[in-house]
Amino acid sequence: MENDLIDIYFADLDSHPVPITSAQIVLSEDEVERSLRFKFEILGARFLTRRWLLRQLLSERTDQPPAKLEFEYGEFGKPSLKGNSSVHFNLSHSSRWCAIAICEASEIGVDIEEIEDISETELVSSRFFTDSEADRIRSAPDVQTGFFKCWTRKEAVIKAVGTGLSMPLDKFQVSLEESSPKLEWIGIDGEDAGDWSLHSTRPAERLITAVAVRAPGARFCDHGWLSIKEKIRS
pLDDT at position 165 is 77
- Sheet with 88-94: strands ordered across: 88-94, 97-103, 5-12, 219-225
| Portion of the chain with pLDDT greater than 90, in percent | 83
**Mean pLDDT computed over 29-51:** 96
Is 65 in contact with 84 (CB distance < 8 Å)?
no
> Angle CA(183)–CA(156)–CA(96) in degrees, nearest 5?
145
CA 61 – CA 125 distance, rounded (Å): 38
**Mean pLDDT computed over 59-70:** 97
pTM listed for this prediction: 0.95
User: pLDDT tens across 98-147, in order?
Assistant: 999 999 989 999 999 999 887 777 778 888 899 999 999 999 999 999 99
3 burial class (0-12, 13-18, 19+ CB within 10 angstroms)? exposed
pLDDT at 57 over 60: yes
**Mean pLDDT computed over 189-217:** 95
Q: Which domains does the chain have, with CATH numbers?
A: 5-233 (3.90.470.20)
pLDDT at position 3 is 77
User: pLDDT tens across 159-202, in order?
Assistant: 999 988 788 899 999 999 988 899 999 998 889 999 999 999 99
pLDDT at position 131 is 94
**Mean pLDDT computed over 11-17:** 96
| Residues 6 or more apart in contact with residue 85 via CB below 8 angstroms | none
pLDDT at position 105 is 84
pLDDT at 20 over 80: yes
- Residue 140: name the closest of 170, 174, 168, 176 by CA: 176
pLDDT at position 128 is 87
pLDDT at position 1 is 47
